[in-house]
Structure 1
Amino acid sequence: MKEKNSPQQGNVPNASSSIQFISIMDLFHIIRQRWILGSSFGIVVAALFAFYFLNQTPQYEAEASMVVELNTDNVVNVQEVVESGVQNSSLLETAMNTHIARLRSRTLAQIVVDSLDADQVERLMLAVVGPVEGRDPEVELPDPASLLTEDILRISWLPDSQVLSVRIKLADRHMAKLIADRYVNRYIRLQSELRGQSTDIAVNFLDEQTVELRDRLEKEEGALQKYRAENDLVTVEQNQLIVTERLSELSSAITKTRLRLLGVESRLSQIGSAGEDLDLLMNIALIGGRENVTEIYTELQRLRKEEQVLSKTYLERHPKMVENAASQEAVTAALWTAINQARSEFKGEQQAVTEELASLETKYYEAEQEARRLESLSIEYRVLSRKVEAQRDIFDRVTSRFNETSIAQQMNLTTIRILDLAALPKHAVWPDKKKIGLASVMLCGFFFVGVPFGIEFLDNRLRTFSDIERFVGKPVLGDVRLIKGKSDVEIAELAQTKDDLLGEAFASIYGSLRLSLGQFPSPLSLVVTSSVPSEGKSVIASNLAAELAAHGMKTIVVDCDLRRPSQHRYHNLENKQGLIEWLHSGAPVAEDLFADEKLGVQKLGESGKLFLLSSGGSTTHASAVLEDKRMDTLVSRLKQEFELIIFDTPPVGVFHDATLVADYADHCLFVARQNETTRQKTRHSVAQMDRSKAPVLGVVFNGVKDLRLAAGYGSAADYGYESYSYRYQYGYGKHEDQYQKDYASGGA
């Protein structure tokens, strides 16, 4: 594989930086190319527009105005029934929009039309639709009310105010004033009638409500009085105080009784704890503290002491000892009798206190029930009272409103007044020369810009050198004029016969290559391709090879368009031997390329510097052939033998063969035919080659029909490029006849 050398591309713009979809310069050139067509079309349309509107029937506008008051004038505090005073901006906006809708309604328009006499209606129709005579009787005339609302009437709300403007525009200025005044007068009358109707309805409604509320109030008051009588509610509050005091007394008594019961139960508990222990019982104050018990216990103690004394003198059966024992027994029995009597008293006290507590609690419960009953009666009474009060308040309000509305029924209340009646218009508001003139200028400007852009949008084919340099981002290396009625073979033959036009075209391409590359490196290899078929890339490749050979460079054309080979046809040669045949044969590269019959390198012309390597047939599997490993060996050998190699390849916009051949080349020469392909397609194809190992050096503009059109609207110098081809061909196109004479006479 070859080793790439950096090309001398000082004059070649960077594709990524120069390609712009739409820039200010693009806009300028789009307009510049078609400004005559755009301006002509714009002037004609603007003139027709102005002529049409300036010759329309003059229209006069009469304006009457009304003011919407925030509040009506109140007498004895009487307010409107339907429309209350506007209190804030949102309500104001609602009210104003309502008035505007009513003013625009067909109902009001019909009222205004009905107020006109027959002559006035006829003048109105004449001002709007023209004379009625001569019209087709089958064609129905428009409704005057519809004409008013749709074509004549304009309602507006003056900003930051409560003013409504009614404007009538007609060809008859007297009718315009009349209808404007009639509109505001009829609208105010309509508003008064609507309010009167609303007030009547309100009076009837309030009258019915007053009677109904009076009956309801009387019924509620009767129910309240009956309730008071049935439940004796006159002394309810006094009884509630008495019951409350009784509850307090009973609560205090219950507390005291519970304390007494606790005391009795505590004493009984002490007695029960002592059991039958006489000493312990005597230590209890409630038992031992009793006088009778104390006396008996004292006697028992005396007898016990006496027994102790006697026991020291006498024996147990001594009469005195027996008497003492009998006395102790009698005293002990009497003591227990007294103790048991005390116990019985305490138990009786406990039972009495318990019964007393139960009685108090029963009385307290009964008092609570009475308090609840009285409170329930009081609550229900208050509810009934509030109902009566609310019903009375509603009745009073409705009665008051009924009285106010009855007064308002007799008054003229309205929130809208006439501010100004219409003045008789002196000057026509239409046609407005200033507006029509401004609109005409804008329309002309629109078409001046829009027509070029419209054409540009519909037709984005490559047409000029500027298109190539701006949209493709590559310099124009040269251009080849279109020769009508000639096939590609005939054009190739013309170039080989040194036709002046074609010869100079390829000479200029050679000059552009020298400017781009400087001194040609040896060997130099170029890929020639295009975006789509029929752009003439094979003819360009053949003729450019002949031009380079004419400058003393040993040149070979390699026909790598294996799908539709054509180089052999330009020289009337067979295509049996060539690239495909040699690759399929598997033969090695011969030392003498010209002696290899499979390869079939053929010498062209008489200079001995131009050679052709045909395709050797055609194939639909071109990629496999071009990627054959032996292809690299062959190209290396060709570079040893020839100073310049030109590869003719299929269109890169259709097949990728050119990008494969680019692996063996230094640069790409791109061919674009005028008006044959779009800018986007060409730009995409050039970008494909730029990503290969043989970036595009420049573009040859082929099939140029009008050199003045192609080169006259912008040049490479406009974009910072120095294109020799442009300068040479532009001058040649301008003075073609003079150059022909110079060539014929042998001039320079």
Structure 2
Amino acid sequence: MSKQSNQDFFGSSKVAEAKSFNIREFLNKLLYHWPLYIIFCVICFSIAAFYVRYKRPVYEIHAKLLIKDNQSEGKKTALEELNLTGSTNNLEAEMGLMSSIPVTKRVVESLKLWVSYFEPTKYYSYRDLYKDSPVDFSMIKPGEGQLDHVFDIIIADDKSFLIKQSGDKTTRFNFSNNIKTSFGVWRLDKTESFANYIGRTIRIKLVDPDEVVKWYQYQIHETPIPKSTNVDVSMDDEVPQRGRDIVDNLLISYMDASVQEKRESTHNTLKFVDQRLASLTGELNNVERKYEGFKSNQGITEIADQSSLFQGNAQDNQKNLNAINIQLSLIDGIEAYVNSDEGAMSAPSTIGLDNSGLTSLVEKLTALQLEHTKLLATLPETNPLFNPLNQQISSTRNALKQNLKSFKSGLQTTKRSLQNLGSGYQSSIRNIPGQERELVDIKRMQGIKENLYVYLLQKKEELSLDYASTISDAVIIDYAHNGNQKAPIPKSVYGIALMFGLLIPTALIYGRDAFKNRIQSKNSIISATGLNVLSEIVHSDDPDPIVVLHQKTFIGEQFRDLRTKLNYLHGGRSDGRTTLFTSSIAGEGKSFILSNLGTVLSVAGKKTVLLELDLRRPTFATRFKLDDKRPGLTEYLIGNATKSEVIQPSGISENLFVIPAGIIPPNPSELLESTELVQLITELKKEYANVLIDTPPVHLLTDAMIIAHLCDVSMYVIRQDYTPKHELEFIKELNAEKKLPRLNLIFNGVQSDKTGSNYGYQNNSYIKEARKPFKSRLKKFFSRF
């Protein structure tokens, strides 16, 4: 079989297995320490039983409250319609008021929760005497600073009591008398339960009320119920009656505070409305006076009538002006006729002319000119008959001109008057919209003030009704009642006790291993180094260093298994096999393993020699009880002895021989580098089937690496609960650098039950070991702790 196949045979599957978590190994390790688990379980269950027995039970207290939602009801109060409250009530706001300091403080003060009364019981515990106290504490005048005091009293008789002081001293006081102490002036009064407590001790505990308020704010919980406006109010208390009283008082105080808040808000709004009404009264009077003055100054009665009048007058004036213009037009025509040459124009029309004299003169002139025209048709113009006619025409024309001039002047004067009058009418008509607008603004302001005044008067009446009929928005559905017992719950307490009874020893076991920083399991070796553990050797308490000679022992079977694996490592060779044994530090058992392996090899008929190269701390002479007068390896290397002189029979088997170290030299490393050692090992390989070499710890000294090239296989010994974990990194580097040939690991001193490892043959009834001595069994039992 090749070297690579040997390595695969012993390593690959086990390395992979070591990298996964082994639940069986974990459980076996815990089961090894079963007495530790029993002790801690007993302790934890005892504590749990004591806790369940003497811990006062804590109960859940519940109450249910319905908070009305005004928005969902579609109704608004007068206050909400005025929008002076900021927002309507909602669930969160109401819950905030419920858990506010003023409401909680009212509960604390009404129930005097800042005073507690207790009676001593067994095991230094106290029974709460809520509603059952024989005395009632009253603070007359508190002292300076926070109130935080505890004192014990002894009820001496029906008239007096004793206050315990330091030591065994007591001071007597009478009931209902004022007592002055460091925390204030106070007194004690008797209650209905007083007669049952004469001669007994009562503890009174005083706490600052503000601190109590903070405490109950934390203890009381308001939880909205989904898809509703209901709120579940709950708290936990050792005294169910006190819990119910607190929750009920909280609900009543909250409802009172809610009503008071609404009344205060309504009262403030009423004051505001009254102030606004007084202001509006003055403003309304000012607007009305302004309206009256404007109409008086403008001479206005009604804008519409006055506008119609102005429009009618303007139309009449325009009609008259049009008539005058017609008259003037006729006058202009007559003037043109009068001023024209005779016969140049036809006679003008006088229809519509309002001057009869002027009309007659025009008609007369027209008739004279017609006559003159007729005469011209028969007579020459120089005829004396034309003279009187021409004189009449001239005189009529002159008269007509004078008459036209005076009449035209009158018409023009009348026209100017009508034009001025029409401009006045137009100006008045143009001023009417502005006056109307100003008057409308005044009337609008007057209407606004009147409407607002009437609205506020109406709301004042509604607010007054609201103030008189104010009720809370909350309704108590369920008053406070006891719920389930919250603590202690025996099943939970014992379950926690069991959990701690298992967790504490587990933490101690693994914590102790982590603190010790020693190698505990084969899997940790494989995971850290990547190397296979060739063999595990169980721990042995046998004082005899050669343990394989005893019949039917587990450790003997393990060494025989190692012998078989060694054959594979040497590739089936039967002669000249050289195996080096080393470790990280002293005391890991490499000499023990080498001695017992050499023994089982020799018993199998293999001629074996054990070579002790640990020249600094030799042990072979003592282990094999050799003759210490005979020379050893040191003497041979310095030339003071021959090979035959240093080889001694082991006295165990005829096939087992030992070469002890001999005297301790001053320069052991130099001796190991000598050619004599190389020659010796070469000769031993020819004479013996197995040469087993014991070397010093390789992490402390370089001796093993000096002779490593002379060996075929290296055995590296690691001892459970002894070898430090940091040595695994050194072994990994040693293997990576190939400083030792064919490196294999042996895990020594293994306590299988303690580490969780298991060996099939160890639990097999086929191999029966002799019963160990009582002392050994007792030591093993205590190791389980």
TM-score when normalising by structure 2: 0.53
Q: CA deviation at 1:157?
A: 0.6
1:429 aligns with one of 477, 485, 489: 485
Q: CA deviation at 1:52?
A: 1.5
Which of 464-473 and 518-527 deviates more? Answer: 464-473
Considering fraction of residues, name the structure with more helix: 1
* Identity value in percent: 17
SS of the counterpart of 2:41?
helix
Counterpart position of 1:78: 79
Counterpart position of 2:541: 482
Q: Give structure 1 stretches of 5+ with no counterpart.
A: 224-380, 485-490, 583-592, 718-723, 738-748
1:159 aligns with one of 212, 225, 249: 225
SS of the counterpart of 2:205?
coil
Counterpart position of 2:505: 451
Alignment of 1:514-553 (within 5 A): 514-518=563-567, 521=573, 522-553=575-606
8 Å CA contact retained: 1:602, 1:611: yes
Q: CA deviation at 1:620?
A: 8.9
Counterpart position of 2:107: 112
8 Å CA contact retained: 1:558, 1:615: no
Q: What is the one-letter code of the residue matched to 1:577? A: T
8 Å CA contact retained: 1:476, 1:725: no
**CA offset digits 1:70-96 (Å, max 9, x no partner):** 22774664317446236xxxx75x426
CA–CA separation in structure 2 for the residues paired with 1:84 and 1:408: 17
Counterpart position of 2:659: 612
Q: CA deviation at 1:129?
A: 11
Q: CA deviation at 1:116?
A: 4.3
Which of 144-153 and 453-462 deviates more? Answer: 144-153
Which of 175-184 and 8-17 deviates more? Answer: 8-17
Alignment of 1:487-502 (within 5 A): 495=546
Q: What is the one-letter code of the residue matched to 2:579? A: L
Q: Is residue 415 of structure 1 aligned with residue 473 of structure 2?
A: yes
Q: What is the one-letter code of the residue matched to 1:52? A: Y
Q: CA deviation at 1:407?
A: 6.5
CA–CA separation in structure 1 for the residues paired with 2:683 and 2:133: 94
CA RMSD of aligned residues (A): 6.0
CA–CA separation in structure 2 for the residues paired with 1:207 and 1:546: 119
Alignment of 1:395-414 (within 5 A): 403=460, 409-412=467-470, 414=472
Alignment of 1:31-42 (within 5 A): 31-42=30-41
CA–CA separation in structure 2 for the residues paired with 1:64 and 1:31: 50
CA–CA separation in structure 2 for the residues paired with 1:97 and 1:198: 19
Counterpart position of 1:732: 769
Alignment of 1:199-210 (within 5 A): 199-201=266-268
CA–CA separation in structure 1 for the residues paired with 2:534 and 2:743: 10
Q: CA deviation at 1:475?
A: 5.1
* 439 and 661 in structure 1: CA distance in 2 versus 1, 3 angstrom threshold: farther
8 Å CA contact retained: 1:125, 1:144: no
8 Å CA contact retained: 1:557, 1:645: yes
* 214 and 696 in structure 1: CA distance in 2 versus 1, 3 angstrom threshold: farther
CA–CA separation in structure 2 for the residues paired with 1:459 and 1:50: 32
8 Å CA contact retained: 1:35, 1:448: no
SS of the counterpart of 1:459?
helix
Counterpart position of 1:650: 696
Q: What is the one-letter code of the residue matched to 1:716? A: Y
8 Å CA contact retained: 1:47, 1:440: no
SS of the counterpart of 1:429?
strand
Which of 178-187 and 153-162 deviates more? Answer: 153-162
Alignment of 1:1-16 (within 5 A): 7=6, 10=9, 14=13, 16=15
CA–CA separation in structure 2 for the residues paired with 1:213 and 1:655: 111
CA–CA separation in structure 2 for the residues paired with 1:463 and 1:210: 94
CA–CA separation in structure 2 for the residues paired with 1:216 and 1:612: 131
SS of the counterpart of 1:481?
coil
CA–CA separation in structure 1 for the residues paired with 2:276 and 2:244: 48
Counterpart position of 2:207: 143
Q: What is the one-letter code of the residue matched to 1:156? A: E
Q: CA deviation at 1:204?
A: 5.0
Counterpart position of 1:185: 252
CA–CA separation in structure 1 for the residues paired with 2:765 and 2:641: 39
SS of the counterpart of 1:165?
strand
CA–CA separation in structure 2 for the residues paired with 1:652 and 1:218: 117
CA–CA separation in structure 2 for the residues paired with 1:476 and 1:458: 26
8 Å CA contact retained: 1:527, 1:669: yes
CA–CA separation in structure 2 for the residues paired with 1:217 and 1:666: 123
SS of the counterpart of 1:731?
coil
Counterpart position of 1:677: 723
SS of the counterpart of 1:482?
coil
SS of the counterpart of 2:129?
helix
Alignment of 1:375-386 (within 5 A): none
Counterpart position of 2:129: 126
Q: What is the one-letter code of the residue matched to 1:701? A: N
Q: CA deviation at 1:481?
A: 1.8
Considering fraction of residues, name the structure with more strand: 2
Q: Is residue 668 of structure 1 aligned with residue 721 of structure 2?
A: no
8 Å CA contact retained: 2:130, 2:239: yes
Alignment of 1:707-726 (within 5 A): 709=753, 714-717=757-760
Alignment of 1:555-594 (within 5 A): 555-561=608-614, 564=617, 566-567=619-620, 571=626, 572=628, 577=634
SS of the counterpart of 1:716?
coil
Alignment of 1:274-289 (within 5 A): none
CA–CA separation in structure 2 for the residues paired with 1:467 and 1:733: 32
CA–CA separation in structure 2 for the residues paired with 1:682 and 1:125: 63
